Amino acid sequence: MRQPSIDLGGASNPAFSLKPCLEKWLPDMLILRMTFPVQFVSASVLTCRHRFCKACLKDSWETQGSGDSHYCLLCWCRSSMDQIVVSSALEKTCESFKVDRSKNDPEACEEHGEKFTLFCLEDLEPICGLCGKGAAHTGHRLYPIGEGAHDCKEELKSALLPLKEKLQVYKKAKTACEDMAEHIKSQAEHTETQIKDEFEALHIFLKEQEAARLSALKAEKELKNLEVNHRFEDMNHEIASLSNTIRLVEKEMNSKDVLFLKNYKETIRRTWQTPLEPQNVPGALIDVAKHLGSLKFRVWEKMKNIVKYNPVILDPNTAASCFILSEDLTVVQNSTQIFKLPDNLERFDINMDRGKVTFYDPRERAPLYTFTGIISPRAFPYFCSACKEHPLKILPTRILLSMD
Ligand SMILES: [Zn+2]
Ligand SMILES: [Zn+2]
Ligand SMILES: [Zn+2]
Ligand SMILES: [Zn+2]
């Protein structure tokens, strides 16, 4: 017996069409019911050894008449239903084909090999018609696959809505984040420049202080040198004068007696001119203590003139987008321009400190208004200016240096 052909490539195999197999049967070949998808109900062999799909054969015989005896569709030998032998080899081949087919077909039931045609609402999965009749889905709501897919898509559409909204929110937040990164970059650059400028001012101040002190030292050194040189001159003069007197007197003393005595009156008068003791003037030395004493402190004290202390600093991270702040963060002015600023949290955060905040008139120190009942842990005063011509200024306080 030749093996039945089971190479059922569907429409690609010219021997089989998608129509029921009986309309296109071929001699000596397995006649199969070829609806799409392929369905094997059962394979059977007639007494004449011709092989047919049992379901197709039954259909055909029903159209032949209602009697018990029927004829083989190929050789017209007499045969009947009870004579049909089910070919177990063929059956197995068909079974394994069904299994293979369903494994390769994601749209077919693995258990029954049939196409999924229903959707079970309880199990939320597609099932085949045979599954639908099985005990596993008893009492379950089953819908045709198309209807199920439509409803599920509708359900997913509404489930996607909040996700899509969240996606938009995240995209927006990401853009804000990119802006923030740009802002951070420019903040860092600007702040770096400011720090360098501030230190440059301090460096210049210190260099000037150093130069002033060095030049004061130099001036004192020159003055003291001048005084010393004057004294040198005076002393040289005295030394010369005394030496001269001594020399003259001694010379007279070596003269002959008569001559010596003749000049004696004048000689003795010379010795009467007693010069003063060499003078030791005060303050002859350089006043090192004056130059070095508490040098750093005195420089620091002088620094008061270039240092400002502002008890309140305006935080640019909290400024509204219409404000311009001064470089030292003490002056705020309302601008006609609107600046692009990141929506950082601090810009909208107002906190309070000890339960109350009081505002004073700065000149009289008279309280203007006190806010009480503030329960937030930290307090930051909030300033606002609507005037575009006159800025709001935070005045520096007086700096006092005190020592114990
Ligand atoms: Zn036959
Ligand atoms: Zn099934
Ligand atoms: Zn079910
Ligand atoms: Zn004004």
- Give the ipTM: 0.55
353 φψ region: left (φ > 0), alpha (ψ -120 to 50), beta (else) = alpha
Written as one letter, the residue type at 158 is S
Q: In angstroms, what is the span from residue 365 Cα to ligand 4's centroid?
A: 23
> Nearest ligand to the C-alpha of residue 387?
4
What's the CATH fold of domain 10-105? Herpes Virus-1 (3.30.40)
The HSE-up count of residue 76 (CA atoms within 13 Å, CB side) is 0
Query: Cα torsion for 63, 67, 69, 70, to the nearest 10°?
Result: -10
Written as one letter, the residue type at 341 is L
> Nearest ligand to the C-alpha of residue 114?
2
Q: In angstroms, what is the span from residue 387 Cα to ligand 4's centroid?
A: 5
- Walk along the chain (404 residues) and give the pLDDT tens digit of each residue: 333 333 333 333 333 333 334 333 333 334 443 333 334 446 677 778 777 777 677 777 777 765 667 788 788 888 776 666 666 666 677 667 666 766 678 888 888 888 999 999 999 999 999 999 999 999 999 999 999 999 999 999 999 999 999 999 999 999 999 999 999 999 999 999 999 999 999 999 999 999 999 999 999 999 999 999 999 999 999 999 999 999 999 999 999 999 999 999 999 998 987 777 887 888 889 999 999 999 999 999 999 888 888 888 888 888 888 888 998 888 988 888 888 888 887 776 574 555 666 777 766 777 878 777 666 666 666 778 888 888 888 888 888 878 88
Q: In angstroms, what is the span from residue 134 Cα to ligand 3's centroid?
A: 9
Domain boundaries, the chain: 10-105, 151-303, 316-393
> Nearest ligand to the C-alpha of residue 70?
1
> For residues 28 and 2, is the Cβ–Cβ distance under 8 A?
yes
Q: In angstroms, what is the span from residue 347 Cα to ligand 4's centroid?
A: 25
Q: In angstroms, what is the span from residue 162 Cα to ligand 4's centroid?
A: 49
Partners of residue 79 on adjacent β-strands: 70
> For residues 30 and 6, is the Cβ–Cβ distance under 8 A?
yes
